[in-house]
Amino acid sequence: MSESTHTIGQALRDAARRLSASSPTPRLDAELLLAHALGWPRAKLLAEAREALSPDDQARFEALIVRRKNLDPVAYLVGRKEFFGLEFEVDRRVLVPRPETELLVERALALAPTLGPRPRIADIGTGSGAIPIALAVHLPQATIVASDISADALAVAAANVARHRVGARVSLLLGDLLDPLPREPALDLILSNPPYATPATVDENVRRHEPHLALFAAEQGLAVYRRLLAQAPAYLRPGGALLLELGDSQSEAVAVLASAAFPGAQIACYPDLAGITRALEVRTSPP
Ligand SMILES: C[S@@+](CC[C@H](N)C(=O)[O-])C[C@H]1O[C@@H](n2cnc3c(N)ncnc32)[C@H](O)[C@@H]1O
């Protein structure tokens, strides 16, 4: 921030200009970070644009701008991220929930009428807990088990479960994929947004700041899908469903793995809002 910055409006313009080389959304970033520095809702910034910033507020804002120029995700700098209309605590222990992952929740809600009156659902690789918590809020009869191999990630998920008061129906288990789950009673639905990237396909800012355990998988990103699909039939009831988020260009390879794991099942793919095939849905044959 330049020394001549005095008002909120000037501070925002100056910060947006400085972020424009490193962020695709410089003005939005500046507003979110200044609102965070001041402890205000973002809308108040525009109403108070002519107000002077105190030296302390300027210093707090400047520290955030410097970190954003270093490509720190805004969600980590402000400590939260909205997903499916709900606010989640996030920090460097978890992947920042992405808008495209909302498709998995939408598909699960669309399938809900087929899942039975009290669906048992599992979310594998839960990270911040965004998926099971969104489902628990929208499916009041569902119970959801969420696993992660990272104890650090589960600590963040636990904070979010408490924040959204869904602890009676969302349980968190530490372990590899489906291993920590009981096989009985069988599940009605399994969801997962697993690690599926390779270092070459991920932007530098993501690679530098988000947990590699959440991002990367061997075998061109297919290794976790392969293991999860091999385990899933032993946990899913006949007639149950499975939903997987897909990386770019992975739909055919994952569909092959899914048909091998669930012979005779119906398999469908769905695009995200950008038109990229993003979710794969398996509906297994009824008993
Ligand atoms: C792509 S992130 C998804 C996080 C969250 N579900 C979301 O959509 O924002 C993948 C998550 O899977 C976890 N993970 C990686 N390998 C795993 C494994 N073998 N078993 C269980 N969880 C795993 C990571 O720790 C990370 O939290």
> Ligand 1 pocket by C-beta < 6 Å: which residues?
94-95, 97, 101, 124-128, 130-131, 147-150, 153, 176-177, 193-195, 213-214, 224
Which residues have C-beta within 8 Å of that of residue 24, sequence separation ≥ 6?
none
Closest by alpha carbon to 146, among 168, 118, 174?
A: 174
Using the structure block, give the residue that is written with the tokens 């104890």: 151
57 CA to centre of ligand 1 in angstroms: 36
Residue 45: which residues within 8 A CB-CB, separation 6 or more?
8, 12, 31, 34, 35, 38
Burial of 186 (0-12, 13-18, 19+ CB in 10 A): middle
Look at ligand 1, atom 10, and give the residue with the nearest C-alpha.
214
Ligand 1 mean position to 212 CA, how many Å?
A: 10
* Measured distance CA(56)–CA(41) in Å, rounded: 18
Residue 216 DSSP label = B
Q: From 122, 165, 167, 164, select the one nearest 147 (Cα to Cα).
A: 122
Nearest atom (ligand 1) to Cα of 104: 8
Token pair in block for residue 235:
């946990």
- Model-wide pTM > 0.75: yes
Please give the number of the atom of ligand 1 that sits closest to the Cα of 97. 9
Rounded distance from Cα 32 to ligand 1 centre (Å):
27
CA of 284 to the centre of ligand 1 (A): 24
Atom of ligand 1 nearest to the CA of 215: 1
Q: Which residue has the tokens 């947004």?
A: 193
Three-class DSSP category at 268: strand
Q: What is the pLDDT along the chain (287 residues), one digit of tens a residue?
A: 445 558 999 999 999 999 999 999 999 999 999 999 999 999 999 999 999 999 999 999 999 999 999 999 999 999 999 999 999 999 999 999 999 999 999 999 999 999 999 999 999 999 999 999 999 999 999 999 999 999 999 999 999 999 999 999 999 999 999 999 999 999 999 999 999 999 999 988 899 999 999 999 999 999 999 999 999 999 999 999 999 999 999 999 999 999 999 999 999 999 999 999 999 999 998 88
